[in-house]
Amino acid sequence: MLKENLERVHQAIDAACKRVSRDSSEVTLIAVSKTKPLSDLEAALDLGELEFGENKVQELVDKYEHIKSPVHWHMIGHLQTNKVKYIVDKVTLIHSVDSYKLAAQISKEALKKQVDVDILIEVNVAEEESKFGLKTEETLDLVREIAKLPNIHIKGLMTIAPFVDDPEDNRMVFRSLKQLSVHIDSCQIDNVSMEILSMGMTGDYTVAIEEGATMVRVGTGIFGARNYNV
Ligand SMILES: *Cc1c(COP(=O)(O)O)cnc(C)c1O
């Protein structure tokens, strides 16, 4: 089933790219493996996946220690400052930076461990109460401040769009994030690039790609439904 799922997702990515004349190589698939056992990750690895997304520090660290192959780990969930130290030297990208305080902690721990950490700024485009992330209008000022910190590099923006039945309902959310990234890019801030746009999940990643996503985070569509009660 995993093989078929992955094939279907890759085909859908290719088709979405084609519709808007983008090259599939511009879009990176993050296999969101949260709650899934190591055996699922290993199976995906065998099928050629190298980018894995986790949303909990403890789970990411456990999996990091057990998967011996050099895969790329993406922290996609809300991150508490006191847990930053466990992951700064293990992750390829932190997608969920939503405050100066968190960025400053990442910078501090990165300096201590002598590593450089790439991050995305999480924007709550739809301004949902239940979600983390900055408001669109706060983002540029925060980017300017975070950009001054050592050992941390802003590579783009991330958003978690609302849960909707019709993915078309999220098109404007994705378009707004893209517009914000173009605006920030035009400000030419030192130590800031807007090369990554992390948006789109199982329900809406093809729409996100049509609107410019360079990273899509797909869990259910690859690994099947999650069971949180185990
Ligand atoms: C769980 C999660 C995903 C994947 O969600 P699916 O709907 O299963 O594809 C993507 N991004 C974030 C931040 C998540 O927490």
pLDDT at 11 over 90: yes
Q: How far, in Å, is the centroid of ligand 1 from the Cα of 152?
A: 24
Residue 112: which pLDDT band, with cuts at 50, 70 and 90? very high
pLDDT of residue 175: 98
Q: What is the pLDDT of residues 124-174, one digit of tens each?
A: 999 999 899 999 999 999 999 999 999 999 999 999 999 999 999 999 999
CB of 220 within 6 A of ligand 1: the answer is yes
Nearest to 206 by CA among 166, 162, 151: 166
Q: Is the Cβ atom of 177 under 6 angstroms away from ligand 1?
A: no
Closest of 84, 28, 29, 26 to residue 60, by C-alpha: 84
Q: Given this model, what pLDDT does residue 227 score?
A: 83
Distance 32 CA to ligand 1 centre (A): 6
pLDDT score at 68: 87
Beta strands in the chain (DSSP E): 28-32, 51-54, 72-75, 93-97, 117-122, 152-158, 192-198, 215-218
Q: 197 forms bridges with which residues in the sheet?
A: 157
Q: Is the CB of 201 under 6 A from ligand 1?
A: yes
CA 98 – CA 121 distance, rounded (Å): 6
| Separation of alpha carbons 107 and 84, rounded Å | 10
pLDDT, position 229 = 67
Under 8 Å CB-to-CB from 28, ≥6 apart: which residues?
A: 51, 214, 215, 216
Query: Quick check: helix, strand or coil at residue 201?
Result: coil
Separation CA 161–CA 10 (nearest Å): 21
pLDDT value, residue 230: 56
Catalogue all structural domains in the chain, each as residue range(s) with its CATH number.
Answer: 2-223 (3.20.20.10)
- Which residue's C-alpha comes closest to atom 12 of ligand 1? 76
* R_g (Cα) of the chain, nearest Å: 17
Q: Which tens digit of pLDDT belongs to each residue from 39-89? A: 999 999 999 999 999 999 999 999 999 998 999 999 999 999 999 999 999
Q: Report the first-to-last Cα separation within the chain, whole angstroms.
A: 21
User: Residue 93's Cα: distance from chain center in Å?
Assistant: 8
Q: What is the pLDDT of residues 190-208, one digit of tens each?
A: 999 999 999 999 999 999 9
Q: Is-contact 150 113, C-beta < 8 A?
A: no
What number is the average pLDDT over the span 81-103?
98
Residue 184 has pLDDT above 90, yes or no: yes
Rounded distance from Cα 107 to ligand 1 centre (Å) = 26
Ligand 1: atom nearest CA of 223 is 8
Q: Tokens representing 129?
A: 């109460």
